[in-house]
Structure 1
Amino acid sequence: MKLPIIVNARELADLVREIGFLPLFRSEIEGFSLQECTPAGYWFVKDVEGPWEWREEVAAGGEIAYAKLFNKKAGFISREWYPDFANYRRDGYDFDARYDDGLASMSSKRIMDVLLEYGDGLLSSDLKQKAGFVKDAAKGFDTAMTHLQMQTYITASRFEYKQDKEGRPYGWGVGRYAVTENVFGAEWVTSRYEAKPAESKERIMEHVAKLFPDANEKAIGKLIK
């Protein structure tokens, strides 16, 4: 499948809803990323809204997940497909059970414990501080955040900007992260739990294979792992 050219947030959202999920940057599968279907003139150009801004609009819409979701890199998953990713990636574990079985780090637990106290989530900078990742204890935050996003326990709910003295936004948007169930609803996120995790994995892999018939099984498996 050759993806269409994308030039705004609405087209991006429509594409994700149509094909189910989409990595932000080049992936193991040629042609399967927003980077490859957006003209270069839209990337990091002053006074031009591009993918970096589109992701913020899509994430704030509340129906398409945006986080590090594909081989520890950012991407989008539609409302239809997110429950399968949650079922597969969590492998039958809620976070507490994963931690109790020694499958999650203390760093991840510290982050989850804080986010469970803040239903609306926290900016990544505030979360880092409240979870105790400061000065000599700062190590491990980014790794834990990536793991929790990949395992679908947390997601970016929206992005916010710093403001100058005149109240004008500047710089890049800072992600606000929250427990996924608090963003999309527990009923939706867990709606595929009746299926075995392996069944969700197979469903996802078969879908990618239909979209990109030339992609080999190893590449697909690495992308969605």
Structure 2
Amino acid sequence: MEKIDGIWYMKGKAFNDKSRIKSWQEVVELVNKIGFLPFFANEVEGFSLEEMVAADFWWTGIASEDPWEWREIIARSKEVAYGKFFDKRAGFISKEWLPIFANARRDGYDFDSRYADGKASRREKMIMDFYMQENDEGDIVWKEDEILSTELKKLAGFGKDGAKNYPGIITSLQMNLYLVISDFRRRTNKKTGNEYGMAVSIMQPPEVIWGYDLVTSAYGEDSTKSWEKIYNQVLKLNPKVEEKDIIKIIGKKPS
């Protein structure tokens, strides 16, 4: 998006541009081809879904043409990962690149180990405790519950009289690939059973969706090497981009 004379405009291609992306399936195909893609325009020119679709098709509510609707369909499909992965903003990661991102962002830590080593906050644990439980052998296993993020906020102890900054903590957990958005659903009126309002996200650990072995398959690699793979892929896609702009999108190299 860009602001012109106080008005926000979407970047993008003309309707008659044959190169524009025309469906959510084409988005998935592209993400699987290049590895990952931010949702909105950013510091790396041309590296976003926004710049690849028709600028006039946003927020029409028509699922066949509206990229805002596509994000719901893509998250629900589980064909690629969707969440706030790029500078705290939304984007997509292919299943092939998901382990590389997980290793670079987590530095090889499962969440319980990360918290035990003092690298995760108490408020992050309040949320992740909803998803984790110990089995009879004392090992951590993941619950497969699907719950609206608005309800998760209450269950995890956030809100008016509880912990603060729920949106920021949820974003942090997505940035570190401990949570992804797996679906969107409308809230339901308890009396009538009718849906209402805007769609609300459902978040789950990627291990629940694609399995622990896949998500953690790059743990044996040094996290800096995983980060360098991500960096070099962006550079490959846009050789003229400056280093600071890549780092803005993918984050700093693990120390």
Normalising by structure 2, we get a TM-score of: 0.82
Cα deviation, 1:178-206, whole Å, max 9, x if unaligned, reads 12211111111011111110111111111
Match of 2:55 in 1: 40
Is residue 2:126 matched to residue 1:126? no
Cα deviation, 1:6-54, whole Å, max 9, x if unaligned, reads 1221111111111111101111101111111111221112446411211
Helix, strand or coil for the counterpart of 2:60?
coil
8 Å Cα contact 1:7-1:42 kept in structure 2: no
| Letter matched to residue 21 of structure 2 | I
Match of 1:96 in 2: 112
What root-mean-square deviation, in Å, do the aligned CA atoms of Structure 1 and Structure 2 show?
2.0
Match of 1:146 in 2: 171
Cα deviation, 1:40-87, whole Å, max 9, x if unaligned, reads 221112446411211111111123000000011010000111110001
Match of 1:195 in 2: 221
Helix, strand or coil for the counterpart of 1:22?
strand
Instruction: Please point out which of 235, 238, 241 is paired with 1:209.
Output: 235
Following superposition, the deviation at residue 172 of structure 1 comes to 2.6
Match of 1:161 in 2: 186
Measured in 2, the distance between the counterparts of 1:182 and 1:168 equals 29
Measured in 1, the distance between the counterparts of 2:26 and 2:172 equals 29
Measured in 2, the distance between the counterparts of 1:186 and 1:128 equals 25
Measured in 2, the distance between the counterparts of 1:114 and 1:93 equals 18
Q: Which ranges of structure 2 fall in alignment gaps of 5 or more residues? A: 1-12, 14-18, 134-142
| Letter matched to residue 54 of structure 2 | P
Helix, strand or coil for the counterpart of 2:184?
strand
Normalising by structure 1, we get a TM-score of: 0.92
Distance 1:41 1:132, change over 3 A: same
| Letter matched to residue 91 of structure 2 | G
Q: Which ranges of structure 1 fall in alignment gaps of 5 or more residues? A: none
| Letter matched to residue 181 of structure 1 | E
Instruction: Please point out which of 30, 33, 38 is paired with 1:18.
Output: 33
Cα deviation, 1:159-184, whole Å, max 9, x if unaligned, reads 11235687665443211111221111
Match of 1:79 in 2: 95
Specify the structure having the higher radius of gyration (Cα).
2
Which is further off, 70-79 or 58-67? 58-67
Give the helix-richer structure, 1 or 2. 1
Distance 1:157 1:47, change over 3 A: closer
8 Å Cα contact 1:88-1:201 kept in structure 2: yes
Instruction: Please point out which of 55, 68, 77 is paired with 1:52.
Output: 68
Matched residues, percent identical?
A: 47
| Letter matched to residue 101 of structure 2 | F
